[in-house]
Amino acid sequence: MANSTSSGKARPTTSWVANVSLFLVPTLLLLLALGVALVCVPKGALHLYLCDHHTPFLDAVLPNYSNLVNWLPYTVLALLLLYRAGWSVFLAGDILLTTIVVQPIKHLVRAPRPLTWFAENMPDVALPLTDGVRMHYWLSFPSGHTTTFFMLFFTLSLIAMTDNWRGKYLWSLLFFLLAAVGAYSRIYLSQHFALDVFAGMWVAVLCTLLMYFVYVPKTINSRFWTWNLRKLKK
């Protein structure tokens, strides 16, 4: 699945820029579209337009999908120890970096969540809510869930591209779609505004790019990079 030299050292199969592009380009296009919408459409109207598409199917699926970020990154982190330790450390560092960025901003800004904002600014509007979802009221900006979705799936796209997975282009596009669905779920559930999602995506993209261009080139050809837990049995 992955490309490596005869000495067991992993090497990227294409350029570093090409490895990030397939996930990054559609992400930037989505950010551009969101940015235009944020500039042109009032905050409340944009949120109502984006979240007012409730169906029984989405009401059943999106709350559970949104909650994946509570455990999926750590499951992937553990599985990467069976694949390549270098990528496991990469993901651990990315989780730590995004947390260090997102959490202080959340507590400094203390932005109201949609339920609180609409109660204060548009009290006559009833938000479409999903039964069984525990709503939050503050610490809206930026969206931590969105950051985690894009950080995780951008990392998986980088792994697919760098290690030359079979069908790597399809994998990268799939990972982008999974990240985008996770981001949209936060608006759909009225846990975040589009601006929160916009900021969360930027945090994920910038932190992951920083990790990729600083950490990976310095370590990818080390013995540690290709070590994994399976080698303990040998």
Instruction: Give 21-228's CATH code, choosing from 1.20.144, 1.20.1280, 3.30.70, 3.40.50.
Output: 1.20.144
Torsion region of 121: left, alpha or beta (phi above 0 gives left; psi -120 to 50 gives alpha): alpha
Residues 77, 82, 88, 89: is their CA dihedral positive or negative?
Answer: positive
- 106 with 161: CB under 8 angstroms? no
d(CA 221, CA 115): 50
Q: What is the pLDDT along the chain (234 residues), one digit of tens a residue?
A: 444 443 444 555 558 888 999 999 999 999 999 999 999 999 999 999 999 999 999 999 999 999 999 999 999 999 999 999 999 999 999 999 999 999 999 999 999 999 999 999 999 999 999 999 999 999 999 999 999 999 999 999 999 999 999 999 999 999 999 999 999 999 999 999 999 999 999 999 999 999 999 999 889 888 889 898 777 665
**Model pLDDT, residue 3:** 46
Distance separating alpha carbons of residues 13 and 34, to the nearest angstrom:
33
The domain limits of the chain are 21-228
Residue 138 CA, distance from chain mean position = 21
Please report the pLDDT score of residue 204 as a whole number.
Answer: 98
pLDDT of residue 15: 82
Confidence at residue 10, expressed as pLDDT on a 0 to 100 scale: 52
